[in-house]
Every structure is written in structure tokens, then in C-alpha cells.
Structure 1
Amino acid sequence: MNSTKLFSKSLTQNGLISRFYYTNRVNKATLYSRISPLGSPDKSVEAELENWLKNGNNVRVAELQRIIHDLRKRKRFTQALEVSEWMNKKGLCAFSSTEHAVQLDLIGKVRGFLSAETYFDKLKDQDKTEKTYGALLNCYVRQRQTDKSLSHLQKMKELGFASSTLTYNDIMCLYTNIGMHEKVPDVMMEMKENRVSPDNFSYRICINSYGVRSDIEGMERILTEMVSQPQIEMDWNTYAVVANFYIKAGLTEKAIDALKKSEQKLDNKDGTGYNHLISLYASLGNKAEVLRLWGLEKDACKRYINKDFITMLQSLVKLDEFEEAEKVLKEWESSGNYYDFRIPNIAIIGYAKKGLHEKAEAMLENLMKKGKATTPNSWGVVATGYLDKGQVKKALGCVKAALSVTVENKGWKPNHKVISSILDWLGDEGSIQDVEDFVASLRKTIPVDRKMYHALLKANIRDGKRVDKLLAAMKADKIDEDEETKTILAMKSR
């Protein structure tokens, strides 16, 4: 597992993102209940806000702030910014430095650091506080603006605004994001020299900086220091990061010890920690622990979401435990969770990689019979596997299926080698109708090329048909005849 996934990339220190969102408990229409279902993160919410007012409803600032908070957690930043700007425009409350900092951060996320700079420059002097300076620093760090980040930090130091843990964490994140991991411990040292107390995230970033450099001794030294700090309450995430680096270093016993300590710190109501530990035990090849933790997660969490199923299936496929994976798939199907093709696709791609292409194809066909969405890429992977086995006819069937679902996946392009081989085979063995139908499907996805015409020419010549119109069409498509074309045309005289 990538170590960066084990500690939050977010530059805030809010911990884990909640799996549960605010809901209206009284089944009564609220402003939140109108905005929350607006699906796409980029869908405008201003019309709902205006309609709410036009219908004579009150707008409470506290509710708007809660909506902004929730939309940010759900990464619907454009909508969160829209609500914040609407609230400001309507003058519903005088923005404090806290509201300005939130809006500045959202502007940086949605429009970039230059727009955030402009907003910051227009603030009144009394609003240029540690919070708004920190929000702008966050924008610079997020977009890896090293010079601007360090220059801005210097201004904050001069103004006495660099006294928070978050500020130093931002700079450690900057060095992490640009791959200068060796600089992270220096920032940590400066932090302590300036009597700013590191928090869990500070230590985790520092531990990571040693781990990515394979400095296990340095990593252990920081972990020992962290454990000894009275203000620090050890968390599962830190031990999981350490376990991950032990696994990479081949230190299995130490990895298991760290995983056991991590498990002791898990929040039983949140499956995120269970997911990380399941993935790490899968990396160790430990099926028993993977299944044990899955059982614990299901007992501990009120419900398990698609992300949980994805983690579990990925782990089981990594372990080649396909029977267990099929059991988990059945659990997902009966869970009532929304359909997400990524979940069955884990098993489909797993089967394909194991050479079990018939099994993968059967799963795809079953989904299509149920009216469920599939992707052309998955069909393409199975087609490639069949082609590698010399089963061109089966590869053709999969490519046809892939082409039939490209409407929803417009960016997909078929594998050139697969298409070329199928066209060669059709030209030699397929009927004119087979070739024409396949080429017609291909032309909706990729430009017509010489290979397509060659297949059509060969099929027509084998059937004794004239090819004058085909040659004229080929010329109209600006495809010149080459030596292979001449060889194919010579078949007429045989």
C-alpha cells in the first residue's frame, strides 16, 4: 500500500472524514435537504438558495455554516464556495476572520492560489489575521508553490502569526508533496525550538519522512518520542503508517506488532481504520487476519459502505482468494448499497489476470443481463487475454461488447494490437457482413484506417465481389494503397 494513503493528504487536522452526514431527523423540508441531494459536485446551488428565500423561509446563518462544513467534508468545494459567497453577498452576517479564512480556502481549492491571493489582498487589515494568513499558506502548499509558501511563512513569522501547529504541518506537507522528505525533520525541530507542540499529524508526517527514505532507525526514534509525549494520544493511523514501512522493509514481526497496536486504537464506529489494516494484512499474505478484521468491521460498524467492499475485494484478489471474494460480492449485492461497477470489476480484472477469462466474461455478461453498467475497458482487458491465448473469435465478442458500451465511456479507445489482429482474422475468415458490421462499430470510436479497408477488401475478394467502390472510398478517406493493399488485390487474379 502507498504510504501516502495512510496519512491524510489534507492540510487540515480534522482527522478522518466522517462516513455519516448530517441528516434532518424530523422528516421536515430543510434548506440542507434541498441542497444535499444535488448530486454532481459542480451543480449550482444558488437557485435552491434563492427559491428558499422566495418561498418565505428563514435562512439561519448557523445552518448555512453547517451546510458549508458538510459540503467541504464531502469534497463538494464548488457548491460550498457558492453557499459561502451567497451568504456574504446577501449580507446575512458580518464575516469574521474565520468566515473569510473558510472562503479563502475554498477559493484556492476551486479557482487556484492566484484568486485566493486576490481575495486576501482585498481584505481589511483587521481581517488579515493568523487564520486568513494560514488559509492562504494552505492554498500555496496545496498547489506546491514552494517559493510563495516559504515567503508567506516568513511574513507570518514577522507578524507573530506562525505560532500554530497547523502552520508547521503545512510546511512539512509541502516538503512531503514535492518529495523533499529530508527537510521534514528540520521543520519539526524548528517547531519544537519555537515551543510549538507537535500533534499526531506532525509526528505522522515526520515518521513518514523517515520511512520513505528507508531510515527505519530514524522512524523508530520519532515513534518512541511520540509515545513518550504526555499530550499525545496515540492513534491507529500512526501505527498503520509504521507497519506499512516495516512491511516494505521485510520486517514482518515488527509489522505485525505495529498492526496489533493499531487495532487496539481503532474507532469501532468507523470502518476506515479496519480497511487500512485489512489492506496491510493482505500485503503480508495473511488471509486469516484479513477475514477476522472483516468480521470485526461488520460487527462494529452500523453499516458498511462501498469503499469497505472495495478494500476487502482488493485484498482477497491480491491473496488469490476468489471463492471468498465471491462471497463478499454476494454480501455487497444484498447490502442495498448503490451500484458501483468498480466493486465487481475488482474480481473481473482479478480473474482476467489469472488467465480465467471465461469467468471474467461470464461476470460481465451477467451484469449486462441484469441491466447493470459495465465499462469498455474491462471488456477490452478480457479481449486481450483471449487474443493472447489465440482465441480471436472470443476476443471479437468482447470487443463488440466494449464497443456497445462506449456511449457512456466516450474517452475509451480500443487496444490497437487487439483490433489489428481481429481485423486480420475477419479479413481471412469472416463474412462480408461480419467485417462491415465490425468496421461500422469501430468507426464510431476510432478513425477509419488502412487495416479496416484491408479486412473489407479481403472479405469481398474471397466472396468474388467487386471492390471498385471500396477502393474509391479508401481514396476519399485519404488512405493510399501500399504494398499490402497490392498483395490483397492480387488475390483477385488467383
Structure 2
Amino acid sequence: MNQKGVCIFSPVEHAVQLDLIGKVRGFDSAEEYFNNLRDEDKNIKTYGALLNCYVRQRQVDKSLAHLRKMKEMGFVSSPLTYNDIMCLYTNVGQHEKVPGVLAEMKENNVPPDNFSYRICINSYGVRSDLEGMEKVFKEMESQPRIVMDWNTYAVVANFYVKEGQTDKAMNALKKSEERLDNKDGLGYNHLISLYASMGSKGEVLRLWGVEKSACKRCINRDYMGMLVSLVRLDELNEAEKVMEEWELSGNCYDFRVPQTVITGYTVKGLYERAEALLEDLMEKGKATTARSWETVAAGYVNKGEMKKAFKCLKVALRLSSEKRWKPNLGVVTLTTLLSWLGDEGSAEDAEAFVGELRKVIPVNKHMYHALLKAYVREGKEVNSVLDRMKADKIDGLC
């Protein structure tokens, strides 16, 4: 519209256009658009938009050269520009350069905002420099214009947790909770996750109770976050209780919720419980995934429980026709299962299984080996199997 003269863009509109071009076509196209602007449209907004394009694509040299030009033009008067440069250094892993940018802001009488301080706090935390982190954090707390938010305290708590400073982490989390909006489900979920990483089951359950009371209605995202935390704590019985709450919540079905518990079972080697949960879901007419059945099957193979593994993988293969799934079983695992099928399964079972399996992976000699063994055990003629081997260009079984 602007190019055709239908309407004339203001500098703000040009800045929006620049940002969109940068996101879709990259900084080269954004740069070309900027260079073609009239001089009166090249102001702090459009300069800032182009800088953001460079930063987004981690163009360090171009970003710094553009920053120097902005300084010459007197366009570096807000925290946004400095925050962009701190984000750039963060994204390229040059965390040690971030504090210098914050110092430059203050020298130039540009007051840091919450985001400025939080980026700098992060730059110290990722380098395990808790002393530097605490210094910036205390400075931030002392600023009368800064309204401390729950997120900053959570960032600090996270670094304390990683460094094993439990008491300081707990103190920061309590302060974070005090500043949390009562209806901020994402905030509660994040704090619950941090308590879980500390191994604090009591705080996880307490805060979950607070969240349910404050938010009135928890959505699937909230249940998944809570279940992930309980699984991390190896509190699978508690996870089952939460999943029962979810089933009664009236929320729409999302397999990712029970899948969290299924994953917990499989990690702990509780394949029977994982299978039972999958079967219960299917009996209720709920969708499951081929991948989840495959994971349970692989666990059974590793335990030597081949009959159970065979049953689970058959379900996975049945579901695969709907989901375009391809098995991720290792060669050894699948070969072991096929070998068992040849030794213990019926020729009919072997035919059915191999027939489904070859729909999702290329046919191989192990499939035919299973078929031949099953046929020979039952005294059946193997010529038809050998003919198919030849047609599939499977030369031999060795």
C-alpha cells in the first residue's frame, strides 16, 4: 500500500514493516528497506527496528556498527536499545560482556528497567558468579522506580538451586510467590517446577493447592506441569492422584497429560503400570500413541518378557496406520523380538506381525528368519516364504 501510494506510512509504521520484513525475509531485506526510506523516516523507531533485526539473527558486527550510528544520531536514549545489545551478547554466549552494557547505560543516564537488570542477573548466574549476581540484584531492589516482579526472584532462585544454595533459593521463591498474580497459572507452574528441582515435595503440593484455589480452573498445561514435577520427584502415587483430578476436571482430552505419568513409569522400569494405564485409556475410547506403546514394548524386551513386548508392539503397529509412525526400536531390540517370535510364535502370528511391520520399515532378513522358523516348527511348506524372499531381494539369512 505504501509503495503504491495508497497511503503514506509514518515512521512508526515503517518500523513495524521493517520488523516484519526482518522476521520473514531476514536482515538483508530489512536493511534494503531501511536504506530506501526517506531521511525524515529514518528516526529512532526505524533505527531501533533495524537493530532488532540484526540482533534477532545474531549479527554481532552489524549490530554494533548500527549501534555506533545510532549513538551519533542521538538515538540511544531508552533502555530498549541497550537491552537489545545485552540480548545479543546473551544469545551468542558472550555473557561476560553484558555487565559492561548495563554500566554504560548508567554512565549515559539511561535508567535500566526490569528487563535490563534481569538480563544482567542472568549473565552472572550462567557463569556461576553468585557474588556478582547478588550485587546487581540488590541494586535492582534498591531502585525506587523499579517494581520487583515474581519473575526476577524466580530467576535468582533458579541459579541458587543450581549452585546448591537451598536456603537462599527458598527465600527467593517465597518472595517470588508473594509477588505472583493470583490468577497467573504460568507463574505458579514455574515456581512448582523450581520447588521440584529442589526436591521439595511439600512445597510442590502446597503451591499446587494454592494454584487450584487461586486460579479456580486449571487447564491441561497446569496439570502437565504439576505431573512433570511429581514425576521428577519420583512421586508416582501422587501423580496418579493428580491425573484422577484431571480426568474429573472436564478439560478436553490431551494425551500429553497421561503420557507424562506413562513416561515416569517407563523411566522407573514400571512397564506393567504403564501398559495398564494405556489399556485403561483405550478402554475409555481415548487416543494413545504408537510411540508410547513402543516404549513399553522396548522395556519388556529388555526385561526378557517377550510375550508382553509382542502384545504392546502389535498395538503400536495397529495405531501406526493412523499416525504415520515409524518404530524407533534399536536393531538389537527388534531382532531379539523377531527371534523370539520365530521360536515361540505361531506361523499365523508371525505372518500377521511381519506383514504389519513391513508397512513401516523396510523388509529385512530378520523378518524372514522369524517366518521360516515358525513355518518349520509347525511343519509347514516354506517354498512360498522363500519365493517372497527372492522377490524382495533378500539373498540369505546369514
TM-score (norm 1): 0.75
Per-residue deviation, 1:404 = 2.2
- Aligned pairs (5 A) from 1:149-188: 149-188=63-102
Q: 1:158 to 1:475 in 2, by over 3 A?
A: farther
The residue that corresponds to 1:424 in the other structure is 339
Q: State the alpha-carbon separation in 1 of the partners of residues 36 and 354 from structure 2.
A: 59
In the alignment, what sits opposite 1:228?
Answer: 142
2:380 is the alignment partner of 1:465: yes
Separation (CA, whole Å) in 2 of partners of 1:432 and 1:119: 69
Which residue pairs with 1:355 in the alignment? 269
2: distance between equivalents of 1:207 and 1:464? 74
Q: Which of 389, 393, 398 in structure 2 is aligned with 1:478? A: 393
Counterparts of 1:340 and 1:200 in 2: how far apart (Å)?
36
User: Aligned residue for 1:212?
Assistant: 126
Q: Which runs of 4+ in 1 moved over 4 A?
A: 87-94
Identity %: 68
TM superposition shift of 1:314: 0.8
Distance, in Å, in 1 between the alignment partners of 2:387 and 2:3 is 64
In structure 2, C-alpha distance between the alignment counterparts of 1:301 and 1:190, rounded to whole Å: 42
State the Cα deviation string for residues 193-224 of structure 1 (Å, max 9, x = none): 22211111111111111111111111111111
Name the counterpart of 1:453.
Answer: 368
Amino acid at match of 1:256: M
Letter in 1 for 2:328: P
| C-alpha separation in 1, matches of 2:301 and 2:2 | 60
Instruction: Please provide the CA RMSD for this pair.
Output: 2.2
Map 1:228-307; keep pairs closer than 5 Å: 228-307=142-221
Q: Which of 94, 100, 103 is residue 189 of structure 1 equivalent to?
A: 103
Alpha carbons of 1:465 and 1:208: their partners in 2 closer, same or farther (altered >3 Å)? Answer: same
The 1-side partners of 2:291 and 2:298 are apart by 10
Instruction: Give the alignment partner of residue 370 of structure 1, picking from 255, 268, 284.
Output: 284
After TM superposition, list the pairs within 5 Å mapping 1:392-407 onto structure 2.
392-407=306-321
Q: Which amino acid aligns with 1:146?
A: V
1:31 corresponds to: none
Judged with a 3 Å threshold, the aligned counterparts in structure 2 of structure 1 residues 398 and 105 are, in CA distance, closer, same or farther, namely farther
> What are the ranges of 5 or more consecutive residues in structure 2 without an aligned counterpart?
none
Post-superposition offset of 1:446: 1.0
CA distance in 2, matches of 1:134, 1:408: 49
- Per the alignment, residue 128 of structure 1 pairs with 42
Q: Which amino acid in 2 is paired with 1:478?
A: K
Q: Post-superposition shift, 1:393?
A: 1.1
Q: Distance in 1 between matches of 2:36 and 2:361?
A: 50
C-alpha displacement of 1:310: 1.3
CA 1:160–1:256: 2 relative to 1, 3 Å: same
- The structure where helix makes up a greater share of residues is 2
- Once the two structures are superposed, residues 440-461 of structure 1 have per-residue CA deviations (whole angstroms, 9 ceiling, x without a partner) of 1111211111211211222222
Determine the C-alpha separation between the residues in 1 that align with 2:72 and 2:54: 18
Deviations 1:145-168 (A, max 9, x none): 223322322332232222221111
Aligned to 2:301: 387
Flag the 1:407–1:196 CA change in 2: closer, same or farther, 3 A.
Answer: farther
User: Does the CA-based 8 Å contact 1:383-1:418 persist in structure 2?
Assistant: no
| SS across alignment from 2:320 | coil
Aligned length in residues: 397
**How far did residue 93 of structure 1 move?**
6.3
Structure with greater contact order relative to length (CA < 8 Å, sep ≥ 6)? 1
- Residue 408 of structure 1: CA displacement? 4.9
Per the TM alignment, residue 473 of structure 1 is displaced from its structure 2 partner at its CA by: 2.8
Q: Which runs of 5+ in 1 are unaligned?
A: 1-86, 485-494
Cα distance change on mapping 1:466 and 1:367 into 2, 3 Å: same
**What's the offset of the Cα at 1:107?**
3.3
CA contact (8 A) 1:309 1:343 kept: yes
Check 1:407–1:90 CA distance in 2 against 1; reply closer, same or farther (3 A cut).
farther
1:432 maps to a residue whose letter is A
Give the letter aligned to residue 250 of structure 2: G
> Per-residue CA shift, 1:210-256, capped at 9, x if unaligned?
11111111111111111111211111111111111111111111111
Contact 2:150 2:175 in 1 (8 A): yes
Give, in angstroms, the shift of residue 266 of structure 1.
0.8
Rounded Cα–Cα distance in structure 2 between residues aligned with 1:146 and 1:276: 32
Residue of structure 2 equivalent to 1:104: 18
For 2:339 and 2:262, how far apart are their aligned partners in 1?
Answer: 28
Partners of 2:36 and 2:327 in 1: CA distance: 47
Q: Does 1:336 align with 2:250?
A: yes
Partner residue in 2 for 1:319:
233
Q: Does 1:434 align with 2:352?
A: no
Q: Summarize the Cα distance change of 1:115–1:439 in structure 2 as closer, same or farther, 3 Å threshold.
A: farther
Contact 2:290 2:325 in 1 (8 A): no
**Greater Cα offset, 466-475 or 234-243:** 466-475
For 1:435 and 1:238, the matched residues in 2 are separated by 59
- Report the Cα offset of residue 317 of structure 1: 1.3
Q: Deviations over 1:387-432 (max 9, x none)?
A: 1211111111111222222245435433123322111111111111
